[in-house]
Amino acid sequence: MCDMRQSLLRRDALSAAKEVLYHLDIYLSGQVQNSPSPSVDTTTLELVEEFILHKRMSALQELQLLEIMCSCFQEQSRDAVRQLIFSALFTLQGNQADESRMALLGKLVSMAIAVGRVPILECAATWLQRSHPVYCRRLARVLVDDYCSLLPGSMVPTLNNLSSSCPPFCCQFITAVTTLYDLSTGTHTAVTTLYDLSTGTHTAVTTLYDLSTGTHCRYHPV
């Protein structure tokens, strides 16, 4: 692993990050295949932090990194491996890298919503289910800002599409969003974009899960 780090240090930021993602894919594929309890070792997590989370990149390089990550998750056919890669990248460690994790996570999930990368959204749903409510709200706020503030009117059609392609993410996201605001007032533009509180039809919500029959995907409140 020391040799790998030295090799990565000689690369540019984007190339080094891409190589770490490739290493994660190969390493965790082997873990899933050969170990009854696959996990990510500390050294690999350190490589993730040093060469993906802490490396300074230009805006173009960051966009290219997000595209590479989207392709990585899309091309990996095993859900267990995808979940482990996502966990290695974005499970909060209680250190200084967590801020970089949250920033990159918000950008990746926002892009995944825009381009319909369901494997990433499935991993994000698991992350939302397992993470502390504070961080779930932070991710939800980033997505609300992107799709309600920057692109007014885009959230409901986007969620309507995702409700069929990735119900678990929609459930977790809606749950996180509802903790951001006092829904009883109906004064929050971002939230009323998601539901029509004045008529009580809750258009976006009813497309995510049928509350009357209890057939919605499993989730826990955040």
Query: What would the pLDDT profile of 35-65 be if each residue is shown by its tens digit?
Result: 888 888 899 999 999 999 998 899 999 999 9
Average pLDDT over residues 91-99: 92
Residue 40 maps to a domain: yes
Residue 209 maps to a domain: no
* pLDDT tops 80 at residue 159: no
Average pLDDT over residues 114-129: 95
Number of domains composing the chain: 1
Q: Which domain holds residue 126?
A: 2-153
Greatest CA separation for the chain: 63
Contact 86, 123 (CB under 8 A): yes
> For residue 203, what pLDDT is reported?
43
Question: SS3 of 55, please?
Answer: coil
> Token pair 């899309």 is at which residue?
74
Q: Does the reported pTM lie above 0.85?
A: no
92 vs 9: CA distance, rounded Å: 25
204 vs 181: CA distance, rounded Å: 16
> For residue 147, what pLDDT is reported?
81
> For residue 205, what pLDDT is reported?
42
Residue 174 maps to a domain: no
Residue 193 maps to a domain: no
| In the chain, % of residues over pLDDT 90 | 57
> For residue 39, what pLDDT is reported?
86
| In the chain, % of residues over pLDDT 70 | 77
| Cα separation values, 203 from 4, 176, 195, 218, Å | 51, 17, 6, 20
Residue 182 maps to a domain: no
Token pair listed for 83: 């979940």
Across 15-41, b (16+ Cβ under 10 Å) vs e yields ebbbbbbebbbebbbebeeeeeebebe
Average pLDDT over residues 89-99: 93
Q: How confident is the model at residue 154 (pLDDT cuts 50, 70, 90)?
A: low
Which has the minimum average pLDDT: 31-40, 166-175, 192-201?
192-201
Residue 63 maps to a domain: yes
Q: Which of 64, 78, 67 is nearest to 25 (CA)?
A: 78
Residue 213 maps to a domain: no
70 vs 60: CA distance, rounded Å: 15
Residue 221 maps to a domain: no
